[in-house]
A and B are shown apart, each in its own frame.
Chain A
Amino acid sequence: MAQVEDGFRDFAVACGGPLFRSAWWLTGDWHLAEDLVQETLGKMYRRWRGPESVDNPMAYAHTVLVRTYLAHRRRRSSAESPAGNMPDSPIDDGDVTLRMTLMAGLNQLHPRDRAVLVLRYWEDRSVDDTATVLGISAGAVKSRSFRALQRLRELLRADLGDLSALQ
C-alpha cells in the first residue's frame, strides 16, 4: 500500500504543475484550479495500479482534468466563469497584462469552447487528440475551435484590442 502511494506521489508531483497550468487556463481562478487538480489527482489515485497500468498516465490525467472540469460546469448549469480572478499567490513570470487580457476573453466562452482552445493552443494537442479527450468528433472539434476563435477575436478586438497588438 505504501509503495502504491509512493509511486503515485512521484507521478503526481511530476504532473501537478502542468495539470495546474491547464486547470488555470480552464477556470481562470487560482483556487478553482487547485480544486480541479486535487479532484483529478483523487480520481487518478482511486484507479492507480502503477504507472504501467495506463499507456500514458500524464495524458490520461489531463483527460480526467478536462472531463472533470466540463462535468462540473455542466452540473452547475452555468457558463459563467469567475471573471478576472487573479491568483493570491505571486506570479513572477510571463506577461501579466497579456494574461489578464486572454483570461478576460476566455472567461466569456462556453466551457466546452474554452476547453477546445486550451487543449489545442495551450496543450498543443492535435484535432484528433482533442476529440478523444472531449469525447466528440474531430469535426466537432474543428467547428467548435473555429467558432471559439472567432468569438475570442471579436471579444479581444472589441474590448481589449487586437491580440496582435499585444505580441
Chain B
Amino acid sequence: MSDFDERLAQAMRKAAAPSPPHIDELVSGGIARGVRMRRRHRWRMAGGVAALGAATGGAALIAPPLLGGGDDDTTRSPGVMSAPPGALLTEDSVVATVRELLPEGEVVDVRSGTESGPGVEAGTVIWFEFTFDDGAGAGFLQGSVAHRDDAQLECPPTNAGGSDIDASGDVDESEVTDDPDVTDTPAAGEEAGGDEGGADTASCEKDVLDDGTELLVTAGEYYPKPEIEPDRLLWNATASLPNGLVVVLGQVNAPTEKDSEVSRPEPPLSADEMAAVVTSDRWVEFDVEIPEG
C-alpha cells in the first residue's frame, strides 16, 4: 500500500481536475444563495414566529442571524437617546430603544438592518445585534421588530430541540451538520448519525398580559444536538403587541453567536428582564408603520 498512495497522488496531479470556465458566474451564484440563506435565517428570527411554534424545537425556536448585513457601529455611547413618542420605527430608533431598556452595561459591535419578509405588513423587518456586557461577562444579543397583525405565538409541541426549520419549511441543517466550527463527530471509523437530536433542557412559557400582549419566553441550548456545546445557551423572548408589532430579543451566553467561547453560565438578561424589554410600553409609542428598507 505504501507505494500505491504515492502513485495515487501523482496520478491525480497528472490527471488534473478541470477548472471552472466561468468563475464569475460561479461566485455570483454562490453569493445569491448566501443572500437567500441570510434572509431565511432572519425571517425565522423575526417573522416566522407562528410557524416556528409548531414546527421546531425549543432551543432552535428563533435562531439569531449569523451574519448581519448592516453597518458596523461601535462608536455609539451607551446612553443613546431613545426615539420620541410617535417616532418612526427605524434601525436607529429600534436599537436606541433596546439599549434604553437594557440593564446597565456596555454595548459594542452594534449591527442592524432591514429585511423584507413574507407576511410582514409593510414588508419589512428591522433586526439588530450587538454584544452586551453587564460586567459579569459579554453576551450576544440579537432581535427584531416587525409589524404583523396575524402573529400567533405558540410553544413547540415538545420542549425538546429539533432540526432547525425555517418558516418556509426549509430545513437548514447546515448549522448543525456542515459547520466547520461544529464537530459532527461519529464514533471512530463510523458514520455520523442522523441530524435529529434534542436538548431536553429547553423550556417554553407562554403568557397573555392584561393589555392583550402575547409573550413567549424560551430557554435552552443553542445547538439542538445535546452533545454539541451544551453550555452554549440561547434564550429568547417574543412579544406580540396589541398594536401589531412583534418584538423579539434573543441572547447567547457568549460574546458572539458562534466562534467564541462561552463567557458566562447564562445569558446576561434574566427571563424577566428579557420579557420587560419586548413588552415595554416604549414599543407602543412608535408609529407602527415600518418604512421600507
- Residues of A whose CB lies within 8 Å of any CB of B are 1, 4-5, 8-9, 12-13, 16-17, 20-22, 24-25, 30, 33-34, 37-49, 53, 60, 63-64, 67-68, 70-71, 74-75, 87, 89, 91, 93-95, 98-99, 102, 112, 117, 120-122, 124, 133, 135-137, 139-140, 143-146, 149-150, 152-153, 163-164, 166-167
Contacts and interface: CB of A to CB of B under 8 A. Distances in A.
Contacts, number: 192
Given A8-B31, A16-B27, A43-B178, A99 B4 contact: no
Given A1-B70, A46-B37, A144 B189 contact: yes
A155 B43 CA distance: 49
Given A4-B69, A67-B177, A45 B31 contact: yes
Interface string B98-115: 000000000000000100
Interface of B: 1, 3-5, 7-12, 14-21, 23-24, 26-27, 29-38, 41, 66-67, 69-71, 113, 173-174, 177-180, 182-186, 188-192, 259
Nearest to B70: A1
A130 to B, nearest CB: 13
17 contacts: A1-B69, A5-B31, A8-B31, A13-B24, A17-B23, A25-B12, A39-B33, A42-B30, A42-B31, A42-B36, A75-B173, A93-B18, A95-B14, A135-B186, A143-B188, A146-B1, A167-B7
A165 to B, nearest CB: 10
B10 A16 contact: no
Contacts of A39: 30, 33
Contact of B27 (A9, A67, A133, A136): A9
A1 B237 CA distance: 28
Contacts of A60: 180
* Among B113, B173, B184: residue with most chain A CB under 10 A: B184
Nearest to B184: A135
A33 B19 CA distance: 11
B7 A41 contact: no
Contacts of A33: 20
Nearest to B69: A1
Contact of B15 (A38, A70, A95, A164): A95
Contacts of A99: 15-17
A163 B10 CA distance: 10
B16 A95 contact: yes
A24 B7 contact: no
A12 B180 CA distance: 18
A5 B28 CA distance: 10
Contact of A93 (B16, B24, B179): B16
B178 A68 contact: yes
A167 B14 contact: yes
Nearest to A15: B27
* A contact face: mostly helix, strand, loop, or mixed: helix
Q: Which of B5, B8, B113 has the most CB of A within 10 A?
A: B8
Contact of A74 (B19, B70, B192): B192
A37 B190 CA distance: 26
Nearest to A12: B27
A16 B26 contact: yes
Contacts of B37: 42-43, 45-46
Contacts of B12: 25, 102, 121-122
B54 to A, nearest CB: 23
A67 B173 CA distance: 11
Nearest to B29: A38
A38 B1 CA distance: 36
A85 B190 CA distance: 29
B17 A25 contact: yes
Given A95-B16, A102-B15, A153-B4, A42 B26 contact: no
Instruction: Give 6 closest A-B pairs by Cβ, nearest first.
Output: A41-B30, A45-B34, A94-B16, A42-B33, A21-B17, A99-B15
Nearest to B41: A46
Nearest to B34: A45
Contacts of A140: 188-190
Nearest to B28: A9
B1 A87 contact: no
A17 B38 CA distance: 24
